[in-house]
Amino acid sequence: MSARDSAFERRLQQLPPRLRPRDRELPGSGRQWRIETVVLIIVGLLLAIAVVNDVVLGTHVNHRLSADLRTWRAYTGHDYKNVSTEEDVLHFTTVDVVCGNTVPGPPKERTQICLQLTGPVANGRRTVSGGWYLPAKHEDLRRYRYGCYGEPKAKGDCPR
């Protein structure tokens, strides 16, 4: 026997009409449908704008990273594939750091040269505002940097 015939169901039917459960929606609930549809369209538009904005942001970042890699290769004269780029995720500036080996070898297995790149992309490249070296097998942490030049040297980014 279904609970639909039970005392519980009969009790529910004693609720005020606006609170009673229904098996089907009443015809004429078009106003609610329209409000919901408008809300859905607004949310959809917000999501669409956010997605397009994110794609544009991502495209700009990729464009910049490509220029960073080209600049590093042109500056060092090494056409290495494994060159790492690092964005300034702390302050969200467009100052990027690109590091790669000074001589051929597996990634980060040789002494690395890091370049600090700034400014807009011009002719597919960006401005090198300075740089530093890193010992082999070390991450780009401030305490490992040495031989700073340019802006990083002026800022005292190299402890040694």
- Summarize as ranges the residues that interact with another protein (CB under 8 A): 2-4, 6, 8-9, 12, 21-26, 36-37, 40, 44, 46-55, 57-60, 62-63, 65-66, 69-70, 89, 92
Q: Which is nearer to another protein, 12 or 154 (CB)?
A: 12
For another protein, the closer of residues 34 and 159 by Cβ is 34
Taking alpha carbons only, the member of 98, 79, 82 closest to residue 140 is 98
| Region for residue 73 given its phi and psi (left: phi exceeds 0; alpha: psi -120 to 50; beta: otherwise) | alpha
- Rounded least distance, CB 19 to another protein, Å: 8
What is the smallest separation between the CB atom of 71 and another protein, expressed in angstroms? 11
Distance of closest approach, residue 124 Cβ to another protein, in angstroms: 9
Contacts of 131 (CB under 8 A, 6+ apart): 113, 114, 115, 116, 148, 149, 150, 152
The nearest distance, CB 49 to another protein, in angstroms, is 7
Ranges of H-type helices in 18-128: 30-76
State which residue, 55 or 154, has the beta carbon closest to another protein.
Answer: 55
When the beta carbons of 89 and 156 are compared against another protein, the nearer one is 89
| Spatial separation of the C-alpha atoms in residues 151 and 107, rounded to whole Å | 26
| 128: phi then psi, degrees, rounded to nearest 5 | -90, 115
Q: In the bound complex, what is the minimum distance in angstroms from residue 13's beta carbon to another protein?
A: 11
CA atoms within 13 A on the CB side of 11: 4
Is the CB of 12 or the CB of 103 nearer to another protein?
12
